[in-house]
Structure formats: C-alpha cells, structure tokens
C-alpha cells in the first residue's frame, strides 16, 4: 500500500425520503482509501454499508459533500460520464455473481471490454488472461448454469479485473458460498491485492472474511469505527 | 462479441417464447403480403386499363343489352379509332363447376381494341378465318391441358341452341398470352357471329362496347357524343373510361380496400399487443441484468438501443418470413386459374412490408426500451 490517496470522501451526506419521513444515512462522512488498500467494511443491517458502496461505485450520488477519485471529482459527473468513469476505474463483484445467464464464462468476462476500443484479438487475449488468473481457463465455454457458485464467483472476479480497473468493489462476495469456497475466493482477492496491487473495498457481514483485508472499518449509524485487525 | 450478438443471445434465451412471437409476426405478415397481393390483382384491372379505351353499356345497368346497330353508329363518331362489341356467354368447360370466363366478340375488332392480347400471326389468321374458332388464355390452356387444334365443348349457363343443347363445340386456334404479367389469361373468346346465329335467346343484341379513341384527350368529347347520340332512345347508353368502369365493377363487390385494410389493421393490432407484451415481460425479467450492465458502465442509451434492437430484429425476422411465405402462397394461388389477374408483390410492396415490420418493432420495443433507459441501477440491483 502506498501513501497515495485513491479515494477521498469529504463531508459526504446521504439522505432520502421514505413516505413522509426523511432518512439520513450519512451526515458529513469523511473517508480516505489509499492505493493498494484492502478494506473491509462491516456493520449491522441498515448501517449504510451498501449505500456507501454504491457511492464509491458511482451508482449513487451523495446528497452533499465531495467525492474525489484519483484527483478527479466524481460526484458532479453526469450519468453518462459516470458510466464511462465506472467502466474505466471500477470492477464490481456481487454477492450473487450476477453473470449473464445466456453468455458463457468467456463472454461474461468479455462484457466490460465491449466498453473499450480494444480489438477482438486483444479482447480475446485479455479474457484468456483473466480466466487463467482465476484458474478457470478450462471452463471458458461453460455456461453459468453449468458451474458451481464458487466457479461463478471466480468468473465474476475475472469480469471485474479484465479491464484492469483501479478499484475493486465487492458486495458480500462470499455471502452465498460455503466456508471452504469462501476462503478460496478471499485468498484470490488477497492475491489480487498483494501481487497485482489492486485496491479493494469489500462489504461483508462475515468477520472471517474481514480477516483477509488489511483493515476493517465498522460502520454504525453512518459513522466509522476503525479497528486494525493486524494489530 | 458485439451488440448484435448480445441482441441475438437475449432473443434466443427462451426459444419457445421466441418461436411463438416470431410465429405471430409471421402470420400477420403472411396475411398482409397475401392481401396486398390480392389487392394488387384487383387494382391491376384498373391500372392495366388503357387510357384511350372507353366502355359503353346500357344506362340501366351493364347486364342489360344494347342493339348491335349501335356499333356502326359509334364507329362513325369523330375521335373513335375502333369499336368492339362483346357479349357475356356464361361459360363452363365440361361441368358447370369448371367455370370459364367466355366472351363472344367481334373477332377482328377485338384484337385491334384489346391489343394486350397477343397471338402469333398464324393464330390470328386462323382466328379470323374459322367462325367456330376459340382463343384461350395460356393459364386456362395449362389448367385443362388444351393445345391448338383441340376441339372442345363449352357450355353456357345462360344460352342454348335451337336444338335445346346448351353446349357449343369450338376449335382452339390460338393460345394467347398477356402483354403484361397481370393481363388476364384465364378468359376465352369466341366469334359473336357464330354465337348469334346459333343461340335461340334472341339475336342482334350485344352486351357492351369497348371503344378505342384516337387520343385519350378526346375521351370526354367522345363520351359525350356517344351518350348524346342515344339519349331518349329505348336503349340509352352510359359511356365511361375503362379505368372508371373497372373501379366501379370492383366497387360492386363492396369496399374491398376498406375490408382488406381492416383485416390487415386487425392482424397488426393483435401482433402489436402480443409482441409488445412479450417484450415488456422479457425486459422485466431482465431488470437485474440490465442493472448489472449499467453498473459495469453500459450507458443508458446503449441499453435502450439493445432493447429496441431486439424488438426490431424480431419483427424483421418474423415479418420477412411472413412476406417470403406470402410470395409462395401467391405463386400457388396463381397456379390455379381464377378470373383474377396474377397476385403479386412488387419490390416496392416488399420494401413497404419491411418498413412496416421495422415500425412494428420500434412501436413494440419503445416502452420496454424506455423502461430500460430509465431504470435506476440501485432499484435494478435490489431486484437481483
């Protein structure tokens, strides 16, 4: 991990109206993520973990405050600019994999590359590399329905890293997996962080999963409590 | 992998639904193609009518006769190039169920006035020389296996001979072709003189006259002169351009255009509902996937085009197959002789059909495409 800041949230607030009530999720939240960090975010249901992940992923906008990513302010970007920004900078890993059921593993991994100008040949090479990295090169032609949960999540990881994003956002990446498979996935994320310098933010309920991260932030009622698990 | 591949994969993910939707579109365009072909056949009678040809009928209605003496009087009118008189024979071949559209005509004038009927020189000569001659269209000749030299019996369900027989024997001296594809080649023609001499119903009356003018510009003038000539006589006439006559004849059956348009509109409306509903369901089922694609960085506009592309491709495939099938259906119908000219779809009609298919695709896809366009990522992922 370097000292360079990748993500900087400055006084971020988020609230929304539900019925006649205004619900505040964060009120003036500050947060910094350094390049090469592997951060786990834990907290009880309703603490704002997913909302925070959505803001970090550029799929939701704060009500107030500033969001800076690699010296670029992203909270003021338009919908289309955000889409481009996400395609260039963020890799997403979901709890339920969210693969396209009608596409085989290789096609699923190729999907984010359709947003680049890469040639067909280069796309193919990138897909092969990503699938080799998650040890699924021999499953390239398999459909999601022909794979186990762990394999599907590995395909999802390959899809997340294939365009070499700066940040991987994982939303309960092991929430649908058994312990053994979950550990495999977490080791893979750890490997991506350690060997390839990927910055990772992972939302999880699982304390075991959080142990794989370099640090854990506990979120409660929109406020962070930091614990250094390594200490 | 391209966007087209994504569209294809989305379309084919539920084969039964795809089949049923394409089949529904196929049926609609089969109906559209065939009905358009039928309408073209009806309209061709009007379109192929010569501009310089008039039809003179009894003013009461065209089933009432006119005296044959009118022919020479009309011939003498300034601006008239030729006149042929014709009688409806009400024919059939061998059995009344084998209807044969038969006309008794002035053999020489007929070929002059109706020059879209083409015979070889030899056939023309034989037609003019033999008073028991019959010329038959190549469609009927093919149907009944007739050839030149055959002697065939033609019955009439209106007239009879002096001996009580209602069957005449004729020598086939020519098999005529049409100058245009849609020229009627199912009819047969016999000599009026022979018919008039042998029938017992009352002679020297004709059904109507075909009048060729020197110049279409003179039509109005000639029409007035003909009808004025016979005004206040027992057989007043009504003369109209042939195109108007054909239109009025078709209109007697009913407002065919309106009926056909209504059938096509009903078919298209049903398809609109079926395909539209299918597309809405299909996109609704994929809400989470669309959310994931947007999360990955696919812009809303691109998602919009992907969804719309699906409905347009589906409509084009179904519509294209339907039009293709309608061409086969028309070819089959054209094989069997009917009094109608050939049903056909020209390239403009095919292009129009594809344009309709594209519009149908756009209309059925627009609502789900807009839903996909507006879909909020967080809402979509919540449904995952």
Locate the chain B residue with the closest alpha carbon to A95.
B384
Please indicate, yes or no, if residue B59 is contained in any of the structural domains.
no
Does residue B15 share a domain with residue B123? no
pLDDT exceeds cutoff 80 at A32:
yes
pTM exceeding the 0.90 threshold for the entire prediction: no
Q: Poorest-confidence range of A39-48, A217-226, B144-153, B186-195? A: A217-226
Task: Mark yes or no for CB contact A86/B296 under 8 Å.
Answer: yes
Does residue B207 share a domain with residue B335? no
Q: How far apart (Å, rounded) are the C-alpha atoms in residues A64 and B369?
A: 32
Does residue B17 share a domain with residue B142? no
Taking residues A107-118, report their average pLDDT.
91
Which pair of structure tokens corresponds to residue A129? 């590399």
Please indicate, yes or no, if residue A50 is contained in any of the structural domains.
yes
- Compute the mean pLDDT over every residue in chain A, rounded to the nearest whole number: 87
Chain A contact probe: residue of B14, B295, B380, B382 with most A CBs at under 10 A: B295
Does residue B221 share a domain with residue B107? yes
pLDDT exceeds cutoff 90 at A224:
no
pLDDT tens digits, residue range A129-180?
999 888 888 998 999 999 988 899 889 989 998 988 999 999 888 887 788 8
For residue A107, what pLDDT is reported?
93
Range of the domain at A186: 38-61+88-226
Contact in structure between B356 and B319 (CB atoms under 8 Å) = yes
| CA-based nearest residue to A87, from B17, B384, B30, B297 | B297
CA dihedral B269, B272, B273, B277 (to 10 degrees): 180
For residue B234, what pLDDT is reported?
87
Count of domains for chain A: 1
Task: Mark yes or no for CB contact A54/B10 under 8 Å.
Answer: no
Task: Mark yes or no for CB contact A83/B10 under 8 Å.
Answer: no
- Picking from B10, B296, B299, the nearest residue to A111 by CB comes out as B296
B201 burial type by CB count under 10 A (0-12 exposed, 13-18 middle, 19+ buried) = exposed
How far is residue B295 from each of residues A54, A62, B31, B289, B314, measured CA to CA in Å? Answer: 10, 17, 44, 10, 27
Please indicate, yes or no, if residue A32 is contained in any of the structural domains.
no
For residue B316, what pLDDT is reported?
93
Range of the domain at B88: 65-234
A86 min Cα distance to partner chain B (Å): 5
Does residue B313 share a domain with residue B284? yes
- Picking from A80, A92, A94, the nearest residue to B299 by CB comes out as A80
Does residue B358 share a domain with residue B263? yes
pLDDT band at A227 (very low <50, low <70, confident <90, very high): low
Taking residues B179-204, report their average pLDDT.
84
Instruction: Please tell me what DSSP assigns to residue A138.
Output: G
Q: How far apart (Å, rounded) are the C-alpha atoms in residues B255 and B262?
A: 11
Please indicate, yes or no, if residue A175 is contained in any of the structural domains.
yes
pLDDT tens digits, residue range B192-222?
999 888 888 777 888 899 999 988 888 889 9
Which pair of structure tokens corresponds to residue B273? 């509902």
Task: Mark yes or no for CB contact B2/A54 under 8 Å.
Answer: no
Chain A partners of B4 at a C-beta cutoff of 8 Å?
A: none
Task: Give me the sheet containing A215-220, strands edge to edge.
Answer: A90-93, A167-171, A199-203, A38-42, A215-220, A223-227
Count of domains for chain B: 2
pLDDT exceeds cutoff 80 at A117:
yes
Q: What CATH number is associated with residue A93? A: 3.40.50.300
Task: Mark yes or no for CB contact B295/A86 under 8 Å.
Answer: yes
Please indicate, yes or no, if residue B341 is contained in any of the structural domains.
yes
Task: Mark yes or no for CB contact B296/A80 under 8 Å.
Answer: no
pLDDT exceeds cutoff 50 at A70:
yes
B276 min Cα distance to partner chain A (Å): 22
Does residue B134 share a domain with residue B87? yes
Q: How far apart (Å, rounded) are the C-alpha atoms in residues B272 and B367?
A: 12
For residue A231, what pLDDT is reported?
37
Please indicate, yes or no, if residue A222 is contained in any of the structural domains.
yes
Does residue B108 share a domain with residue B21? no
Higher-confidence position of B374 and A226 = B374
- Picking from B298, B301, B378, the nearest residue to A115 by CB comes out as B298
């Amino acid at each position: 991990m370097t000292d360079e800041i990748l993500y900087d949230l400055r006084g971020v607030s988020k609230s929304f109206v539900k019925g006649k009530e205004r619900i505040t999720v964060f009120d003036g939240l500050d947060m910094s993520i350094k390049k090469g960090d592997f951060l786990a975010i834990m907290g009880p249901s309703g603490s704002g973990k997913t909302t925070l992940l959505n803001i970090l992923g550029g799929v939701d906008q704060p009500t107030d405050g500033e969001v800076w990513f690699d010296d670029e302010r992203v909270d003021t970007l338009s919908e289309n600019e955000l889409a481009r920004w996400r395609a260039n900078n963020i890799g997403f890993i979901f709890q339920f994999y969210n693969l396209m059921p009608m596409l085989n593993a290789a096609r699923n991994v190729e999907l984010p590359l359709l947003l680049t100008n890469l040639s067909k040949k280069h796309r193919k090479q990138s897909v092969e590399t990503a699938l080799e990295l998650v040890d699924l090169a021999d499953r390239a032609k398999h459909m999601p329905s022909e794979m186990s949960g762990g394999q599907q999540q590995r395909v999802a990881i390959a899809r997340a890293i294939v365009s070499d994003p700066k940040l991987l956002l994982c939303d309960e990446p092991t929430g649908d997996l058994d312990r053994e498979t979950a550990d495999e996935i977490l080791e893979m994320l750890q490997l991506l962080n350690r060997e390839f310098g990927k910055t990772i933010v992972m939302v999880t309920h699982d304390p075991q999963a959080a142990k794989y991260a370099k640090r854990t932030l506990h979120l409660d009622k929109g406020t962070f409590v930091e614990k250094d698990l390594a200490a | 992998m391209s966007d087209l591949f994504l569209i294809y994969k989305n379309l084919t993910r539920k084969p039964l639904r795809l089949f049923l939707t394409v089949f529904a579109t196929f049926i609609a365009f089969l109906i559209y193609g065939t009905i358009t072909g039928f309408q073209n056949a009806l309209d061709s009678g009007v379109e192929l009518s010569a501009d310089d040809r008039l039809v003179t009928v009894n003013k009461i209605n065209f089933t009432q006769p006119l005296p044959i003496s009118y022919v020479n009087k009309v011939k003498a009118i300034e601006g008239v190039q030729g006149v042929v008189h014709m009688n409806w024979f009400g024919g059939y071949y061998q059995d009344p169920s084998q209807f044969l559209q038969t006309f008794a005509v002035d053999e020489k004038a007929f070929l002059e006035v109706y020059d879209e009927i083409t015979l070889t020189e030899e056939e023309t000569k034989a037609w003019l020389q033999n008073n028991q001659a019959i010329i038959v269209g190549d469609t009927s000749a093919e149907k009944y296996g007739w050839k030149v030299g055959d002697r065939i019996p033609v019955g009439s369900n209106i007239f009879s001979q002096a001996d009580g027989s209602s069957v005449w024997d004729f020598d086939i001296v020519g098999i005529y072709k049409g100058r245009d594809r849609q020229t009627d080649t199912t009819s047969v023609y016999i000599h009026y003189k022979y018919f008039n001499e042998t029938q017992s119903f009352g002679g020297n009356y004709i059904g109507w006259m075909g009048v060729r003018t020197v110049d279409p510009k003179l039509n109005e003038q000639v029409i007035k002169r003909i009808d004025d000539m016979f005004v206040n006589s027992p057989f007043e006439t009504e003369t109209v351009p042939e195109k108007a006559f054909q239109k009025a004849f078709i209109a007697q059956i009913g407002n065919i255009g309106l009926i056909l348009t209504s059938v096509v509109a009903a078919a298209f409306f049903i398809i609109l509902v079926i395909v539209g509903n299918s597309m809405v369901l299909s996109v609704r089922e994929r809400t989470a996937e669309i959310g994931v694609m947007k999360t990955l960085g696919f812009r809303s506009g691109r998602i919009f085009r992907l969804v719309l592309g699906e409905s347009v491709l589906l409509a084009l495939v179904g519509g294209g197959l339907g039009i293709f099938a309608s061409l086969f259906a028309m070819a089959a119908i054209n094989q069997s002789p009917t009094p109608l000219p050939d049903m056909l779809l020209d390239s403009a009609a095919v292009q129009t059909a594809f344009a309709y298919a594209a519009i149908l695709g756009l209309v059925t896809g627009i609502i789900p495409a807009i839903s996909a366009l507006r879909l909020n990522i967080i809402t979509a992922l919540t449904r995952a």
